[in-house]
Amino acid sequence: DFLFFWGAVFLITTTLVALLKKENKELTPTKEETKGITDTYRLLFSIIKMPAVLTFCLLILTAKVGFSAADAVTGLKLVEEGVPKEHLALLAVPMVPLQIILPLIISKYTAGPQPLNTFYKAMPFRLLLGLEFAFLVWWTPQVKHEGGFPVYYYVVVLLSYALHQITLYSMYVAIMAFNAKVSDPLIGGTYMTLLNTVSNLGGNWPSTVALWLVDPLTVKECAGAQDHACGTTAAAEV
């Protein structure tokens, strides 16, 4: 119902924009150097071949490796330890106002000549939060009781997620501000889209690898079955 409602709202508002919004023909926008898809890709390759852009892409493709396990696996491990999915979903609700307010606050610090300073400052705190998430996963079975989990446990999880959001958005807004700052205005759309795509890819591939490595790196013991290995999923089911 939730998805259906917002899907309908999305379709209606998009249709209204298409029908009612008129272009201002008096203003002539600055033309980009590209004329079609082929030209756009040629331009992309010429941008990415620049030494500074190549180095920057390499950096943002690998910068988020240290957070991948904490970001991708923590929620799944908490569910595995018995935390109800619906409770974790409810904890996301208080995060929404925070996610709206944070970019407004952080943008004040990224508007200067060196927006990446915020990115650098947030990185060690986000790495430390990865250790805190690991502790949280270890602590979860210790506080579980027959009735579920105590209120203070959810308070700790909520605060952990809130701190994580602050570091995440500090890095996210900083990288977006930097991409906007360095993009050539004449080809700004193409330039910025390329950098933002690489930045998004730099966050997604480490998470995928982290999820893929969970099973091989998890140590398992078989209770009540001597001399029986349970390293693989099939063996664990047996």
Task: Chunk the chain into consecutive blocks of 10 residues (it has 238) and report each block's average pLDDT, rounded to whole numbers.
Answer: 95 95 68 67 84 92 92 92 90 89 88 88 94 94 86 93 93 90 78 89 93 85 72 72
> Would 7 be classed as within a structural domain?
no
**Within a domain: 147:** yes
Tokens for 112, please give them.
């200067």
Q: What is the pLDDT of residue 162?
A: 93
Nearest 5°: the CA angle 163, 72, 76 is 100
Give the chain's domain count: 1
CA 188 – CA 210 distance, rounded (Å): 34
Report the C-alpha gap between 139 and 203 in whole angstroms.
27
148 has which bridge partners? 145
Task: Specify the CATH number for the domain of residue 129.
Answer: 1.20.1250
Residue 44 lies in a domain: yes
**Residue 37 one-letter amino acid:** I
In-domain check, residue 191: yes
Collapse the DSSP code of 112 into the 3-class scheme (helix H, G, I; strand E, B; otherwise coil) and give the result.
coil
pLDDT score at 160 = 94
Q: Is residue 112 part of a domain?
A: yes
pTM equals: 0.77
Q: Is residue 222 part of a domain?
A: no
Yes or no: say if 159 and 102 are a contact pair by the CB < 8 Å rule: no
Q: Is 165 within the bounds of a domain? A: yes
Whether 226 is covered by a domain: the verdict is no
Q: Which domain holds residue 170?
A: 39-215
Q: How many CA atoms lie within 13 A of 106 on its CB side?
A: 26
pLDDT of residue 61: 93
